[in-house]
Structure 1
Amino acid sequence: MKYFLLLPLFLTSIFVSAQDDNSFIETYPQFPECAGIQEELQENCFKRNFTSLILEKFQLPEIVSSENYRGTQTVIFEVDEEGKFMIVYQDAEFDELKNEMIRVFQDLPIIKPATYSGRPMHMQFKMPLRIPLNNNQPILEEIAAEEKAIIAASENDVQKEKVKEVKKPGIKKQPDDNYVDKPISEYDLIKSEKFTSPRYTSEINIPLSHEFYGRFDAEFNRIGTNTHAASKPLLFSEVNKYYNFEAHRDALLQDRRSWGGRKLWNEHLIRFQTDKYWFTLDAGFDLQLGKDFNDNKHSFTYNNTRAAIIQGGLGKNLNFYSVIYENQGRFANYYNRYAESIRPAGGDPAIIPGRGIAKTFMNDGYDYPVAEGYLSFTPSDFLNIQFGHGNNFIGDGYRSLIVSDNASPYPYLKLNTTFWKLKYTNTWMSLRDVRPEVTNSGSYRTKYMANHYLSYNVTKRLNLGFFESVVWENDNDRGFDLNYLNPVIFYRAIEFSTGADGGNAIIGLTGKYKLSNQGYVYGQWLIDEFSSGDIFGGEGSWKNKLGFQIGAKYFDAFKVKNLYLQAEYNQVRPYTYSHNSFVLNYGHNNQSMAHLWGANFREFIGIARYRWDRYYGNAKIIYGKRGFDFENTGDKTNFGQDIYRTEDDRALENGVEIGQGNTTTSFYTELEAGYIVNPTTNLKLFASFIFRDFNPQANTINTFKNSTSWINVGLRTDIFNWYFDY
């Protein structure tokens, strides 16, 4: 049995309540019967044709009729940019009513979409449906009457204009372009056009995620490309020339027609775009539940992160990005112990590595808010300027010995200059020393770091990079020393000119050689202090504070598509990154700005990654030899691992070697498998397993033999690297 449906609501709400004022619309959604009619009748024509289709197709479910039900069913729907009718939301007491409405909408034709400035746009409507339906029959007559009234008013206006022309003959006065003869609503003109994913061609940073960067590493480093991959994060615009982000994302999209389905599986939560600006807003998550099988005190580990992520562009040259995290968590015992061992002054219980200072949550957990963001300005094709709060990374490997992203976010100003075969990166940072020994009047000690990194493509296969860095503090109230703003001068010269302890300078060299389009080798060489006489003297002087890295990557390994293999070796000699002054170490918030193990170590790393459609898997193995201090019983007990200890307390002058002191072997393996829920936001459902074995020569308060088996399942928006391999 067919019934009249929805009719009284069309005139009062369905076609206007979701849009309030339709003055921004150039053309309404059009059925074929509405083509060519005058503009004033487009809305009514759409109402009449839509109403007729609903009356023809909708059948009231028997359960609703039999119970003599009276109530309201609310339906929000839209006509999208392709002219398809799509239900966004339904609210009804009976599922049968919802199912019938879905059936009717699936049977509706595709029509011409609404347009604004000549561009197709989606238009949304709200439809409260009153039941019973037998009171709706007169509505078509009301629609027809309204159409007649519009036509009559239009004809009357035409007649009035003719009378005016007769009464006022002569030359017409030309309209003044600055004169508005009737009120308009600028607010209602602010409407989104078709969203074209401008992020992928913008100057927004690609979030630091080893798994995500591994997807385009091969394309970005093909033989003959004039690219520079070491200075990270990279911009979407510089990578999109070689790797089509949108095409790869679109290949993963699912056929989701409902609003909720599209937002969860395919799209940004909120997106807005005009020809002048755009922005998106997303909710981020890191919801984890796990078990440390070696922790007998707690049943579970957990992390509860909610985040708001906003990014966009204003014009062609200015982009912005901001994310605010609210976090609570408790982790495996070894990780909790390390977080508490680097606690700041002031009574807070821990610093969550890579995130920030934490306060106590529910007695045995941590609450640690984090905020990151930046402005990215590109005044020319050669220069990008960023000012923000976040992390940076320099290198082609999993680790970096010169600048890594394992420390807490920090304020920075960065200039990337790219031309010819060069990319030159200048970064200035404000860092904190939060130890009780240096805290003054309740505030943490401020220090500054400035970096230069020059990347040069020597040939189509070989890339070399030259790095220098200096750390200085606000001694003698000099604040940010303007000497270090010079983007080309050598920092070592300034360090000498400002005094013996004016700064702590480090230099380094990076290199990469492309063996083929399927792989390359890379490396780093770090010099904190270099004494040629001591090196060639063969006595193993403590002054030879050096480190180096060598590694290789293999893409589509063994002809298996999307199989990524990586091997890496790192070693850093004792006392590297430390300084004879108390503050001028290479650290921030009690964490290293380079390798997360500090110094006095060597490690081997093996990594495998695989992707298929939305599924992925990672495997990582790390074996290392590390040298810690014994119990601190006085002076001369520093064996060179802790970069925050002054090198004046060194235990040895000569015979210094890696692993000295409390020699410790460390084994770490991590397996992770997951499913990419939303490829646009990189939301992942995952499960992971971590095994860690830590075996020192002697047990101390913070360094003692322990073994950990830790399993986790979770839902995570993967937009930063979180390291658990301490």
Structure 2
Amino acid sequence: MRKLFTLVFFSAVLSAQAQESSATYEKYPVFDECKDKAISELKDCFDTTLRAFLVDNFKIPSVVTEEAYTGEMSFLFEVNEEGAFRLMYVDAVYNELKDELGRVFSQLPVISPPTYSGEPTYMQFSMRLKIPLEANTEPLVQTTKKVDEFTKDASDEFKKIVEERQKYANDEYSSELNIPFSHQRYALFDAALNQVGSNNHTAVKPYVYSAVADYFDLEAYNKSLSKNKKSWFGRKWWDEHMVTVKGKDYWFTLDPVADLQLGKDNSDEVDYTYNNTRGVYVRGGLGKKFNFSASLFESQGRFANYFNDFARSIRPSGGNPAIIPGRGIAKEFNEDAFDYPVAEGYISYSPSKNFNVQFGHGRNFIGDGYRSLFLSDIASPYPFLKLNTSFWKIKYTNTWMSLRDVRPEATEDGAFLTKYVATHYLSWNVSKKLNLGFYEAVVWDTSNDRGLDVNYLNPLIFYRFIEFATGSRAGNAILGLSSKFKWNDRINLYGQFILDELSIDDFFGREQNFRNKYGIQLGIKYYNAFKVDGLLLQAEFNQVRPYTYSHNTIRLNFGHNNQPLAHPRGANFREVIGTANYNYKRWFGTARLIYGEQGLDIEGDTTSFGGNIFTSEDNRPSDNGIELLQGNKASTFFADMQIGYLINPATNLKVFGNFIYRNFDPSAETTATFKNSTTWFNIGLRTDLFNWYNDYQ
């Protein structure tokens, strides 16, 4: 970093240029040798006497002489109200020069202080000391003075800020910022976080850097990938943030971001698909406990036909043509494409090692799998407040979210309905191998002028009891249980159980009552599979009964912007997922196979078969005999393979090629639900800051 007083020690002149005081009531400090001088001569006498003292007493260090160094050093000093000299700042090539100057200043006598309007005050000066010492003949520079009796001069404040700039030291890796959540990126350190015997908690995502740093040195890993380029462009392209600024108690980085994709979908008549995202990404910190992050994206895109159709099928009320899954509401662009701006950001504050609070606009995830039955990141960003509390073997996470229902039946006077979700998740490390998690969520809306119900702001209360106390139609409460077992350092098992509603009598009577609304997830991870470092294999099974996440008050569903908050299929489905992630230096690869079945509603029939969480369960075909996959049973096979190269580890900029095959086969074909097969190939350049899901159905 460039400092205001550039240091090139000892060259030949001790310069001290003094600014002329604009005040007529100011008097210079006075050495004993100058007491008999007229007031108009005090400035020159002060300069001459100080200059002579420094030249006579300064001893050039031997290292400076031995290395034949010539140059100069700059420094600031002050004469205070008591007449004492105080050396404030020194810029020098050699520490020996700084030490010698400090020694000389410690020998300066106490003199008569400067005055303003007859009262003692202070003056600050800047000087340059040069070699040879006898050439130091220039006057002093007065850098700070009192403007009047009450106002202090701030003319050097900006200079001091510049002067305090420091070299950026990768502060993000020890910060309270979130590591941007993408499954491919998190696979890099998933094994380190799941070591047997660790007291870590892995379900709540995204992780903060400081938490991961206890188990995986991401900074050192990224440094190991360095290209060691010397040019500015080489460093910024391969290894560093575009802009870095660091001061005494602050820092921030700024990077351009992009998601540029070009592809071909064989099921569509268009010549090509594309995505054109440009944006900016800012992160920083104020002190050691407060951090902030903001990203702004401007995007246009035309996707594979099945993706476009799905985006249009969840379009909002009001005329906009689509909602891009995971991003937001879109408008038409060039007749056959979408324009969808997105903004995300948050602030993060950790008052102690036990607490972290975040407030922002983004997405969250709870679970150890590819999917989550509790809370996933598949929906559009939303405002949230999150409190993480960690102590002993416990991590307790409270999240409050403000969501929107954008369907016509939930729109009033052209405005989208606001609803709220509050969640609790308590993670408990029972032993060095076993973890249990306890989940609770409640959805409520603003009907009856309730607004933000303070009952649900309590971070400790049980929402199920509050729902009972305020009325069953006043909120929709959901319970969940999760578990993870570390078989060893290479294999762990995980699962989730979600319970929306349960009729015990009907459950054991095998009546298959509609009230039996629950889901289950089972999964396994195999790290460094078959002794191949960096290879993570994962298998997962998900199944959710009909009407889970829905409600008889249709606005109390567990969804946002026409997208489920948990599993992308909603309910009334089952699926099997197999994933392989591989990382080798800057190369990476991902392969994922998904086979799923779901019972869909039948076009033209008002009956709800339980797959669409945004319809009312009151439209069910019956109370009993509710079977999994009832309705129009459809099967989907999805294959997604990606290979790429990480260009910049600091920004996660990567180049990639992506191949997707999708086959959709419903039992009954309609105009909206029909057999189709897609082969979609993409190449792209992307700053990977979030998960792009293409497997919604």
Q: TM-score, normalised by structure 2?
A: 0.81
| Structure-to-structure mapping, 1:328-407, within 5 angstroms | 328-407=300-379
Distance 2:683 2:384 in 1: 34
Alignment of 1:97-496 (within 5 A): 154-155=136-137, 184-187=156-159, 189-190=161-162, 191-296=164-269, 298-496=270-468
Letter in 1 for 2:287: G
Aligned in 2, Cα 1:645/1:26: closer, same or farther, shift over 3 Å?
Answer: same
SS in 1 for 2:195: coil
Give the match for residue 39 of structure 1. Answer: 73
Contact 2:7/2:72 (8 A) holds in 1: no
Q: Select 2:515's aligned residue among 524, 539, 543.
A: 543
| Paired position in structure 1 for 2:561 | 589
- 1:599 Cα offset (Å): 0.4
Please point out which of 658, 666, 679 is paired with 1:688. Answer: 658
Q: Which residue identity lines up with residue 231 of structure 1 in the other structure?
A: V
Separation of aligned partners in 2, 1:433 and 1:182: 53
The one-letter code of the counterpart of 1:695 is D
Q: Which runs of 5+ in 2 are unaligned?
A: 12-63, 76-91, 100-127, 142-149
Q: TM-score scaled by structure 1?
A: 0.78
2 CA distance for matches of 1:601 and 1:458? 32
Deviation at 1:115, TM superposition (A): 13
Given the superposition, is the C-alpha separation of residues 114 and 589 from structure 1 closer, same or farther in structure 2, using an over 3 Å criterion? farther
Q: What's the counterpart of residue 637 of structure 2?
A: 667
Distance 1:40 1:578, change over 3 A: closer
After TM superposition, the structure 1 = structure 2 runs for residues 39-118 of structure 1, keeping only pairs within 5 Å, are 39=73
Aligned to 2:685: 715
Q: Deviations over 1:612-663 (max 9, x none)?
A: 11111110000011110111334xx111100000000012322222211101
Q: 1:181 to 1:592 in 2, by over 3 A?
A: closer
Aligned-partner Cα distance in 2 for 1:468–1:264: 45
Are positions 1:23 and 2:4 aligned together? yes
Displacement of 1:460 in angstroms is 0.4
**Secondary structure, in 3 states, of the residue corresponding to 1:583?**
helix
Question: Aligned partners of 1:702, 1:256: CA distance in 2, in Å?
Answer: 54
Query: Deviation of residue 381 (structure 1)?
Result: 1.3
Does the C-alpha gap of structure 1 residues 466 and 29 become closer, same or farther in structure 2, counting only changes over 3 Å? Answer: farther
- Partner SS, residue 237 of structure 1: helix
CA positional deviation for 1:331: 0.2
- The one of 625, 636, 639 equivalent to 1:655 is 625
Structure 1 pair 626/26, CA: closer, same or farther in 2 (3 Å)? same
CA distance 1:157–1:346, change in 2 (3 Å): closer
Measured in 2, the distance between the counterparts of 1:358 and 1:336 equals: 11
CA-to-aligned-CA distance 1:291-328 (integer Å, 9 cap, x gap): 001112x1000000011000011001100000001000
Instruction: For 1:115 and 1:598, locate their aligned partners in 2 and report how far apart those are by CA, in whole Å.
Output: 70
Distance 1:439 1:181 in 2: 58
State the shift of 1:196 in Å.
1.2
Q: Per-residue deviation at 1:701?
A: 3.1
**Superimposed CA distance per residue, residues 230-268 of structure 1 (whole angstroms, 9 cap, x where no aligned partner):** 011111101111100111001111021110111011000
Name the CA shift for 1:112/1:26 in 2 (closer, same or farther; >3 Å). Answer: closer
Is 1:604 the equivalent of 2:576?
yes
Matched residues in 1 for 2:637 and 2:533: separation? 30
Partner Cα separation in structure 2 for residue 395 and residue 500 of structure 1:
28
Counterpart residue type for residue 307 of structure 1: G
What is the count of residue pairs matched by the alignment? 590
- C-alpha displacement of 1:541: 1.0
- C-alpha deviation, 1:117, in angstroms: 11
Task: Work out whether residues 73 and 129 of structure 2, in 8 Å CA contact, stay in contact via their aligned partners in 1.
Answer: no
Q: Deviations over 1:461-486 (max 9, x none)?
A: 00000000000000111100000011
Give 1:550 deviation, angstroms: 0.3
Q: 1:621 to 1:156 in 2, by over 3 A?
A: closer
Give the C-alpha shift of residue 181 in structure 1. 9.4
Q: Distance in 2 between matches of 1:257 and 1:34?
A: 29
SS at 2:278's partner residue? strand
1:535 counterpart SS class: helix
Provide the C-alpha distance between the structure 2 equivalents of 1:198 and 1:233, rounded to a whole number of angstroms.
18
The one-letter code matched in structure 2 to 1:367 is D
Indicate the residue corresponding to 2:526 in structure 1: 554
Alpha-carbon distance, 1:39 to partner: 2.2
TM superposition shift of 1:222: 0.3
Kept after mapping to 2: 8 A contact 1:427/1:451: yes
Partner of 2:198, secondary structure, is: coil
**Using the alignment, how far apart are the partners of 2:382 and 2:233 within structure 1?**
36
The answer to whether the 8 Å contact 1:377/1:385 transfers is yes
Q: Contact 1:24 / 1:189 at 8 angstroms: preserved in 2?
A: no
Letter in 1 for 2:641: L
Output the CA distance in 2 between the equivalents of 1:197 and 1:342. 42
> 2:10·2:73 contact (CA, 8 Å) conserved in 1?
no
Q: CA deviation at 1:610?
A: 1.0
Query: Counterparts of 1:644 and 1:147 in 2: how far apart (Å)?
Result: 76
> Is the Cα contact below 8 Å between 1:639 and 1:650 reproduced in 2?
yes
Residue by residue over 1:489-544, the C-alpha shift from the partner in whole angstroms, topping out at 9 and shown as x without a partner, is: 11011001112211000000000000111120000000000111011011111110
Structure 1 unaligned residues grouped into runs of 5+: 1-17, 42-110, 119-145, 161-177
For 1:114 and 1:391, the matched residues in 2 are separated by: 50
Distance 2:131 2:329 in 1: 68
| Of 649, 674, 680, the match for 1:704 | 674
Q: Which amino acid aligns with 2:328?
A: G
Structure 2 match to 1:58 = none
Deviations 1:401-438 (A, max 9, x none): 01000000000001000000000000000000000111
Counterpart residue identity of residue 23, structure 1: L
Residue-by-residue CA offset, 1:22-51 (whole Å, 9 max, x unaligned): 63435579999563754269xxxxxxxxxx
Q: Secondary structure at the match of 1:250?
A: helix
The offset of 1:114, in angstroms, is 12
- CA contact under 8 A between 2:514 and 2:547: conserved in structure 1? yes
Distance of 2:585 and 2:623 partners within structure 1: 56
For 1:133, the equivalent position in structure 2 comes to none
Distance 1:115 1:651 in 2: 88
Q: What is the alpha-carbon root mean square deviation over aligned residues?
A: 2.7
Task: Write the distance in 2 (CA, Å) between the matches of 1:249 and 1:116.
Answer: 37
CA distance in 1, matches of 2:276, 2:561: 23
